[in-house]
Structure 1
Amino acid sequence: MKKKIGIISGMGTRAGLYFVNKLIDQIHAPKDQDFPEFILHNNSSVPDRTLAIVYGKKSPERELLRSIKMMNELQVDYIVLTCITSYHFVNMLDKELLKNILNPVELTINVLLQKGYRRIGLMATTGTIKSKLFHKHSEEIDLITLNEKEQEELFMKSIYMDGGLKSSEIKEEAYYLFEKAFDTLKEYEVDVMVGGCSEVQIGYENITTEIPYIDTMSVLVDEVIKVMNLKKTTNEQEADTFLV
């Protein structure tokens, strides 16, 4: 019997669909029946995660729990959330609810350690940074982030501005700010850049750089392919799909 995966999106919607497309692009499926069975809940009612963590605004926990319970009622085998910051709240849930949720932060840390990277340039929302999702592993890796001004005026603005990377119509200014944020962090003499936010990959595709880059969502896609027993495309079988 086919395994089913539940995908919780809406945080943001564009990033969630990007995740699905990336998954589809990396599997070998000659006919309809070869594609994975998945259930996508685009829960756009989830309150902003960074606002909740940094400014004490409405918690997303209730809506996240609604989506997770919905997926379990539909008897999915695995659950992923296409927002890294949301895992701060997911980690607080009852352990019984966590048993089939794939965690991209832990998966990414494992990849970094396996590859021998130690000085990591982390591009993530202020919520992810403040929640220390990645920093909990700081004894094993050295995490470098933008300073507060760079974080807000470059990276966060590129995501949240009118026409930012979260929106349905992205403006050129958003891509410009993202590239500036990326280049600024790269200058901190890091070994590798990590996209610790689902919108990072959207901005990354519009820049050219030689520094190694690992996308957290791509790591998650790779794990989904593995646990769902899916076949990779011929081009991806010998490659690390998450390492650019």
Structure 2
Amino acid sequence: MELDKLQGVVMQQQRARRLGILGGMGPLATVDFMRKIIQSTPAGQDQAHIPMVVANVPQIPDRTQAILDAAEDPFPALLQLLRQLEQAGATLFVIPCNTAHFWFKRLTYYSRIEAISIIDCVVGAIRRRGLRRVGLLATTATVRGGLYQQELRPLGIECVLPDALMQQKVMRGIAAVKAGDVALGQRCLFEAYQALREQGAESVILGCTEIPLALEAHANAHPETVIDSLAELAQACVQWYQVPQLSKLAPTQACVA
């Protein structure tokens, strides 16, 4: 009887939950994120899947240019989309874009709902796997902004970065995926991945959400060699939806801000 009552409470709380996705950065990565959430959800029928409110808006100003070149600030556009998600009934929001997490803490300050950080999810995965030396494939803005390094350094985890020439190749690969040339993206990004592994990285963070699209075959064949930021965020969203108590845990445990 108590178990039935508890299950009833869980179902009521789940029905009240709605995931808000602040997407469009880029649009293909947002669709891939939704696919990963659905594939990660243990559902036997439509009604068991996570309700989502999605803002897939590619017109958000370029994040890398804003950070590196003081170009147009994307924060007003991000905040406007967050407000739209809130008004549409979202009870938690996520951003399937690593570079946009440069503004994540500021967004959570103004947010009326909970949030899950993609950076926290990746750091949690690294800790669970006991890794001490990881590579990072990400936009130049994510690398220079230290979004991962500042979280990993206090934990004694070394972050191996591409050299300048290889970072250019990473950016070329990301741009190729955004332009629809996934094959070119795969060639550029796999070369950069191999370079990091040769430098002793135990595993490599796929720290831009376009990268898993290019390296999907390798990641599926050798999952221990990569940390897919998009997949980790998707798993956290599924856990949030299925475990009502999750939001009461510490942020480092639950990835919830």
Distance in 1 between residues matched to 2:211 and 2:182, nearest whole Å? 15
Contact 1:64 1:90 in 2 (8 A): no
Q: State the alpha-carbon separation in 1 of the partners of residues 217 and 85 from structure 2.
A: 34
TM-score computed with the length of structure 2 as normaliser: 0.82
1:44 CA drift (Å): 1.1
In 2, Cα distance between the equivalents of 1:79 and 1:44? 17
In structure 2, the residue matched to 1:201 is 212
Give the 5 Å matches for 1:89-108: 89-93=103-107, 95-97=109-111, 100-108=114-122
Residue identity matched to 1:107: C
CA distance in 1, matches of 2:166, 2:142: 16
* Aligned residues with identical type, % of pairs: 23
Aligned to 1:229: 242
8 Å CA contact 2:183–2:214 kept in 1: the answer is: no
Q: Is the 8 A contact 1:175 1:206 kept in 2?
A: no
Asked if structure 2 preserves the Cα contact closer than 8 Å seen for 1:105 and 1:133, the reply is yes
CA gap 1:220/1:57 in 2 versus in 1, 3 angstroms = same
- Residue aligning to 2:165: 149
Unaligned runs of 5+ in 2: 1-11, 244-257
Q: Given the alignment of the two structures, is residue 10 of structure 1 paired with residue 24 of structure 2, yes or no?
A: yes
Describe the shift of the 1:135–1:42 C-alpha distance in structure 2 as closer, same or farther (beyond 3 A).
Answer: same
1:166 aligned onto 2:181: no
The structure with the larger Rg is: 2
Provide the TM-score with structure 1 as the length reference. 0.86
1-structure distance, mates of 2:45, 2:71: 46
Identify if the C-alpha distance between structure 1 residues 180 and 79 changes in structure 2 by more than 3 Å, giving closer, same or farther. same
- Judged with a 3 Å threshold, the aligned counterparts in structure 2 of structure 1 residues 33 and 13 are, in CA distance, closer, same or farther, namely same
Counterpart contact for 2:104–2:117, Cα < 8 Å: no
Determine the structure 1 residue equivalent to 2:246: none
Q: Alpha-carbon deviation of 1:68?
A: 0.8
CA RMSD of aligned residues (A): 1.8
In 2, Cα distance between equivalents of 1:211 and 1:87: 25
Which residue identity does 1:109 align to in structure 2? V
Supply the distance in 1 between the matched residues of 2:239 and 2:64 (Cα, whole angstroms): 31
- Residues 182 and 63 of structure 1, relative CA distance in 2, 3 Å threshold: same
Quick one: structure 1 residues 190 and 171, their matched pair in 2 at CA, closer, same or farther if it must change by over 3 Å? closer
Matched-pair contact (CA < 8 Å) for 2:182–2:214: no
Secondary structure in 1 matching 2:227: strand
Rate the CA distance shift 1:201–1:229 in 2: closer, same or farther, 3 A. Answer: same
The reply to whether residue 121 of structure 1 matches residue 135 of structure 2 is: yes
1:54 counterpart residue number: 68
Tell me the CA shift for residue 101 of structure 1: 1.3
Task: Return the structure number with greater helix share.
Answer: 2
**Distance verdict in 2 for CA 1:94–1:222, change over 3 Å:** closer
What's the offset of the Cα at 1:99? 5.2
